[in-house]
Amino acid sequence: MTLTRRLLLGVFGVMGSLVIFLSFLVDRQLSRRLQDDTADVLTREARFVAASWVVTTDPFELAHRAGDATGRRITLIDSSGAVVGDSDFDRAGMSGLENHAARPEVAAAMRGSVGSALRASASRGDRELYVAVPAGSGVARVSVPTTALNSLAASTRRGIAFAGGVALLVALGMAWLFARNVSRPIVSLRDLATTYASGNLTARPDIRAPGEVGDLSRALHQLAEQLSARLDALAAEESLLRQLTESVTEGVVAVDAQRMVVRINAHARAILGAAGALPFPANQLPREVAFRAALDGALAGDSTDDLEMNISGRTVSVTALPLPGRGAVLALYDLTRLRRLEAVRRTFVANVSHELRTPLTVIGGFAETIAGDDLPDVERRQFAHKILSNTKRLQRIVDDLLDLSRIEQGGWTPNPARTDLASAVADSLAAVRETATRKGIALETAVAADAREAWADPTALRQVLSNLVDNAVRHTNTGSIVVFSQARTGGAVVIGVRDTGVGIGSEHLPRIFERFYRVDAARSRAEGGTGLGLAIVKHLVEAHGGRVAAESVLGVGTTVHAEFPGPPGEER
């Protein structure tokens, strides 16, 4: 029910009750007042008749004359109670009237006071008001029917009802205007509060009303301003917190007391494989026992510091801390790459130690032998040659390690330029031609007409070609080695070496570009390889923004190719 309707119903109830109460009260007071005033008039008239009733006066005639003069019923009663004159009856009719000595008003008049009574007339049947006063020869009584009094009272009641109805209508009209003036700003403020509750704080009240409504309007305006300021501050804090959590290298997960994930950054999603929209149940997080135990412990108020565990194939360090309100926050640090690097470092140290130990052992052994005095000159020269050969091998390993370290650490940056491939290929083949001729290997070139130049660092390109050709010669016993080039879109050029060597098993192909990885370690060392050539090739090509790949079939041969991107912005 609207406020206007409630106000109108309230006013109608109050005014209706007031009109009814006033009508009832006025009716009672008016009836009583009319009766009292009529009794006073009748008393004066009765006294006038009593004064006119002397011994020589005929009471019958006096009653009729007084009745005609006053328009009242005049009754004269002697001291015995007998009616001796009545303006409403003739002489014959009076004989049938009963004795009035027992009538209340007559009895009071006989006692010397004024008597009055309101009752139905025994002779006429209607209700009358009687007033009797003592007279010299008996009692003089004047009466009047109450019909006139009732008519006057009814007329008065109708007037009061009409006035009350008019007053009620006027009150309802004024109440409607008042209610409308009051309810309209209240309804407007209600709608405004509903708008604020829905999250829209841009609206402002434009009500300029006095009193409480104006105070409420101003209070809502201040409330909207404060809420807007606080929401802006909260939004700024939320944005800052989101940026902070997204910028850290650790994964961050916040879980509330209802075990709902309320915040999670991108690193945590990647580590935990969580893709649900916030908030989502913590049951959607990984179910690893150690991870669940850390989460449950934090929700129970216990802390977990740097607990290393395996989550979905990742090595993760988890720190779980309880929050006020029985929530929890988890910090996840992905140690997978670090552990992998540590494993690579251990493998690298072991490989380097192994690779260096062999030539050092040879050098040390032959040097100790040469140090003896009884060694023939021929053997001494042979041993010295072995020492020199292993020293050169040791030097190559150290040089390759230094080159690889410089490239990996960013100490070398390619300076690409248009480089003639025919010249670079000729230089790389010339370096191995003697060895290839001794082994009966044919060296061929297949430089495409549209791929005669490559956008690459000239020194790096020659080193890539030299390593690939040298590696192909060492692993090929017969057949041919082909150095080729092919054009790609965007000005890119593919440079590769194809041999007919022993080939590489498919299980080894993914790892041949790792440092010191050998498919056949014994043969590689016998051929003088360092195990670092393909690793250097891979890093040099990737430094140009390119990529390397290898294809091989056991007993058929191997193809290794490197793709160098074209100049920036060039399309071919």
| Position 124 pLDDT exceeds 80 | no
Rank 12-21, 203-212, 279-288 by mean pLDDT and report only the highest: 279-288
For 174, 247, 270, the CA distances from 274, given in Å and listed in that order, are 66, 18, 7
Tell me, yes or no, whether 419 and 499 share the same domain: yes
Tell me, yes or no, whether 23 and 54 share the same domain: yes
The answer to whether position 195 is within a domain reads: no
Listed range (126-130, 242-246, 313-317, 320-324) with the worst mean pLDDT: 242-246
What is the spatial order of strands in the sheet that 557-564 belongs to?
Answer: 441-447, 479-487, 493-499, 557-564, 547-553
Tell me, yes or no, whether 379 and 319 share the same domain: no
Higher pLDDT, 120 or 296: 296
The answer to whether position 9 is within a domain reads: yes
Tell me, yes or no, whether 135 and 278 share the same domain: no
Within 10 angstroms of residue 341's Cβ, the number of other Cβ atoms is 12
For 462, 467, 564, the CA distances from 457, given in Å and listed in that order, are 9, 15, 10
Question: What does the pLDDT look like over 346-390, one tens digit per residue?
Answer: 766 776 676 677 778 878 887 877 877 677 778 778 888 888 877
| Position 315 pLDDT exceeds 50 | yes
The answer to whether position 569 is within a domain reads: no
Q: CA–CA separation, 142 vs 447, rounded Å? A: 155
Q: CA–CA separation, 300 vs 321, rounded Å? A: 10
Q: What is the pLDDT of residue 4?
A: 66
CATH number at residue 504: 3.30.565.10
The answer to whether position 56 is within a domain reads: yes
What does pLDDT average to over the chain? 82
Higher pLDDT, 157 or 98: 98
| Position 443 pLDDT exceeds 90 | yes
Whether the CB-CB separation of 549 and 509 falls below 8 Å is answered with no
CATH number at residue 307: 3.30.450.20
Question: Which residue, 297, 319, 334, sits at the end of a domain?
Answer: 334
Q: What is the pLDDT of residue 222?
A: 81
Question: Which residue, 106, 134, 151, sits at the end of a domain?
Answer: 151
Q: What is the pLDDT of residue 276?
A: 81
Higher pLDDT, 427 or 15: 427
Tell me, yes or no, whether 322 and 361 share the same domain: no
The answer to whether position 502 is within a domain reads: yes
Question: What does the pLDDT look like over 34-71, one tens digit per residue?
Answer: 778 888 888 998 899 888 888 778 888 988 999 888 88
| 42 contact partners, CB below 8 Å, separation of at least 6 | 72, 116, 129, 131, 142, 143, 144
**What is the mean pLDDT of the segment spanning 233-251?**
80
Within 10 angstroms of residue 200's Cβ, the number of other Cβ atoms is 11
Tell me, yes or no, whether 329 and 365 share the same domain: no
Whether the CB-CB separation of 432 and 497 falls below 8 Å is answered with no
The answer to whether position 241 is within a domain reads: no
Token look-up 């912005």 returns: 569
Q: Please report which confidence band the pLDDT of residue 118 belongs to, taking 50, 70 and 90 as the band edges.
A: confident
Higher pLDDT, 547 or 91: 547
Q: What is the pLDDT of residue 522?
A: 45
**Per-residue buried b or exposed e for 105-123, using 16+ beta carbons within 10 Å of the residue's own CB:** bbbbbbeeebbbbeeeeee
Question: What does the pLDDT look like over 473-507, one tens digit per residue?
Answer: 988 988 999 999 999 888 899 999 999 988 888 88
Query: Whole-model pTM?
Result: 0.43
Please tell me whether residue 217 adopts helix, strand or coil conformation.
Answer: helix
Q: Please report which confidence band the pLDDT of residue 411 belongs to, taking 50, 70 and 90 as the band edges.
A: low
Question: Which residue, 120, 151, 182, sits at the end of a domain?
Answer: 151
Question: What is the chain's length?
Answer: 572
Percent of all residues in the chain with a pLDDT value above 90, rounded to a whole number: 15
Q: CA–CA separation, 498 vs 445, rounded Å? A: 10
Residue ranges making up the domain that contains 86? 3-151
The answer to whether position 225 is within a domain reads: no
For 16, 257, 268, 296, 302, the CA distances from 324, given in Å and listed in that order, are 61, 9, 22, 15, 12
CATH number at residue 381: 1.10.287.130
Q: CA–CA separation, 385 vs 56, rounded Å? A: 194
The total domain count for the chain is 4
Tell me, yes or no, whether 292 and 328 share the same domain: yes
With CA atoms as reference, report the closest residue to 482 among 464, 467, 500. 500
Tell me, yes or no, whether 483 and 394 share the same domain: no
Tell me, yes or no, whether 82 and 147 share the same domain: yes
Tell me, yes or no, whether 290 and 349 share the same domain: no
The answer to whether position 159 is within a domain reads: no
Tell me, yes or no, whether 352 and 306 share the same domain: no
For 428, 482, 499, the CA distances from 444, given in Å and listed in that order, are 12, 5, 10
β-pairing, 260-264 vs 280-281, is antiparallel
Tell me, yes or no, whether 17 and 147 share the same domain: yes
Q: Please report which confidence band the pLDDT of residue 170 belongs to, taking 50, 70 and 90 as the band edges.
A: confident
